[in-house]
Amino acid sequence: MEQYARYQPPIRFVEKVIESQELEARTVVHFPYSPTLSMLAEAGAQTSIFAKLTEQKLSAGIPIDAAGMLLSIKATWHQKTDRETFEVECRYVSNLENFFVMAFSVYDADVLIADGQFSAILEKEGEPF
């Protein structure tokens, strides 16, 4: 996806897109070392780029490939780990116009490592942030 091309290492965490559905996405992410909770939350936000959200974007006047800006994150550790590769699932929760709320979960195999929610604002057609 074009909007993911803006991310460059070492901040580019998504290695592979497993699933890209209308309201959710699932990726494999890799970190250069054992991640912090903030890094896991950023991986959740990066994974959200691959959730299509076509209907939600079009009804709010947002281009399909709109840029977004992360506004807030609430995340919880469930199990600390020294691993560097995980699967991240991201799900649409709600939106009001161009303000979106998404939920994410980070897994090591079937073990939940961290989860949370974040909010982002997407750029509307012809309007800067």
pTM of this prediction? Answer: 0.90
In whole angstroms, give the CA distance from residue 66 to residue 41.
21
Q: Is residue 48 part of a domain?
A: yes
pLDDT in tens, 35-84: 999 999 999 999 999 999 999 999 999 998 888 899 999 999 999 999 99
Task: Please report, rounded to a whole number, the percentage of residues in the chain having pLDDT higher than 90.
Answer: 81
The pLDDT of residue 124: 85
Residue 89 lies in a domain: yes
- Which structural domain range is residue 98 located in? 2-122
Q: Within a domain: residue 127?
A: no
Residue 88 sits in a domain of what CATH number? 3.10.129.10
Q: Which of 48, 39, 41, 54 is nearest to 9 (CA)?
A: 39
The structure tokens 């074009």 sit at 2
Instruction: Report d(CA 68, CA 100) in Å as an integer.
Output: 10
Could you tell me if residue 128 is inside a domain? no
Average pLDDT, the chain: 92
Per the structure, the count of domains in the chain is 1
